[in-house]
Amino acid sequence: MTDLGGDQQVQEEVLEGLAEAVNHRKWFSSMAFPYLGDDPIEIGSGFGDYALEWAPRVRRFTCTEAEPHRLDELRARMAEEAANVEVRHMLLPSEETASHTGLVTYNVLEHIEDHVGALRSMSRLVLPGSALVIVVPAFMIAMSRVDIATGHVRRYTKKTMREAVLAAGLEIEVLRYANILGFFGYFVSAKLLGQAPRPGRIVRIYDRFVLPATRWWEGIFGAPFGQSVVCVARTPVSS
């Protein structure tokens, strides 16, 4: 993965805040369950919260991280908590190839200037026909000082996500928005008030009471917009 840029302290505060959002993590991690195979790779694992949701379901899991401090903490955590996880440093775009059965990358692509090049690099890390599960923040109207501080260069719509994925030579299987109420919460806190998500009572209350209702609603009715764009893309099957 490329160097994320931005303020590392702010990035880590955001990651710590999201770590408290257990229901959010379980919801979004479940979106990838059908696509992992038995030997998936995650691009941009942070402190490994999502990896620990996925690793028990697979034979082998590979975490990657670019930022040295987080990489060290990630290695220590996985050595203690998940014996089937390999942790390694990775920078994208790259020419590296591998044969993983699936790839997940959550809230990473928005940091990378050459996002099409990064998607092409990701596609070379999986077997032909395998899935890439991609989650990115939605709508440039919500671009805030918090986004800039954490190194975001863009936010996405379904249209811009589709354009990037197709330009990378991938095929789209799923493309949708998720977390309607999360969009409003982020817009008010980050865009209007300039406050990054941080550990604390507000995050816990939102995660415990609001998030489950949002997940239930969207499971039935879908989401015409949301805080995130969720994309499942596949690498072409070799002829």
Query: What CATH number is given to the structural domain containing 83?
Result: 3.40.50.150
**Structural domain containing residue 116:** 8-234
Q: 57 in a domain, yes or no?
A: yes
Whether pLDDT at 12 is above 80: no
pLDDT in tens, 49-78: 999 999 999 999 999 999 998 999 999 999
Q: 3 in a domain, yes or no?
A: no
Q: Determine the Cα–Cα distance for residues 209 and 205; give it in Å rounded to an integer.
A: 6
**pLDDT confidence of residue 239:** 44
pLDDT in tens, 108-133: 999 999 999 999 999 999 999 999 99
With pLDDT > 90 as the criterion, what percentage of the chain qualifies?
A: 79
| Strand stretches in the chain, DSSP E | 41-42, 61-65, 85-89, 100-106, 126-137, 171-178, 228-234
- Give the type of residue at 30: S
pLDDT in tens, 197-209: 766 788 889 899 9
Q: Name the pTM for this structure.
A: 0.93
Q: Which three-class secondary structure state does DSSP give residue 79? A: helix
Report the number of distinct structural domains present in the chain.
1
Q: 93 in a domain, yes or no?
A: yes
**pLDDT confidence of residue 5:** 55
The more confidently predicted of residues 194 and 94 is 94
Query: Looking at residue 140, what DSSP letter applies?
Result: G
pLDDT in tens, 216-238: 999 999 999 999 999 999 999 97
Q: 50 in a domain, yes or no?
A: yes
